[in-house]
Amino acid sequence: MKSYKLHKNFRKFLLNESTNTEGLCLYHKGEGTNYQRIIIYKPIPDEAIKMNRQYLDTVIIGAITFDNTKNVVGEPCIPETFQVSTVFTHKDYEGQGFQKLLMDCAFYALGKENKGLTSDQFTGTKHRAERAWVKIEKSSEYEKQQTRAGNDQFDYSDATPDPDDDCNMPMKFPSVMHSFKKKNTSDGKAQYDTMKTNHKTFVNKLGRNKGAFENMLKNRSAEDFRVRFRGL
């Protein structure tokens, strides 16, 4: 049974099949700002809410944070561009397409504002996430953002007179040197909108505990990332 599950998940990854998001929720913190966080989680049933179990029993499936490069590295990196600072999936949900879904949601959220997305230009990218960027760079589903002068590659050494392509060389060699936009964000939009509506419905049941719950999601997703990749 276990080998069949692994085979099924690997096939889903290869074929880019849609991730099962039925009943899941999405919390988008900082929407429209220079620092944003998207969290996908599995809500608890109504019976558990009555016992105030939302802080203990809610399962965070994965999260992604993305920041404006101007704020993080002090350079435009082909404005406006956001870098993926953290992304993770809960170990029990690996191989089910949630990392790609988180990326799709980020591309959709930024695409609404005509902004691009790139890899971590401050510290560099973890190996697992690096593979996703290699795939994005090779895919025809994405396009490279350009400066007004027509440059589409980050300039780490003032090689061009164009100030808009200037970027900061991360501590580790960057996964990609471009700012990407997804050409068609309809899949990400559909799942993003549905899960975001589910979140609104769920937190409305919490009443005055809504703020505390959303704060818990933020703090726990940050801690889950640190624990997940400690020592890597």
DSSP one-letter code for 43: P
Q: What is the pLDDT of residue 230?
A: 64
| H helix or E strand, kind and range, residue 85 | strand 81-89
Q: What global pTM score does this model have?
A: 0.89
> From residue 220, how far is each of 59, 61, 204, 205 by CA, in Å?
10, 11, 20, 21
Q: What is the pLDDT of residue 229?
A: 75
Residue 209: inside a domain, yes or no? yes
Residue found by looking up tokens 């993770």 in the block: 88
Q: Which residues of the chain have pLDDT under 70?
A: 1-18, 126-128, 230-232
Query: Are 54 and 48 spatial neighbours (Cβ–Cβ below 8 Å)?
Result: yes
Q: What is the pLDDT of residue 131?
A: 84
Non-local (6+) Cβ contacts of 165 within 8 A are: 76, 77, 78, 147, 149, 151, 153, 154, 155
Residues spanned by the domain of 217: 25-228
Q: What is the pLDDT of residue 34?
A: 97
CATH number of the domain within which 208 lies: 3.40.630
The number of distinct structural domains making up the chain is: 1
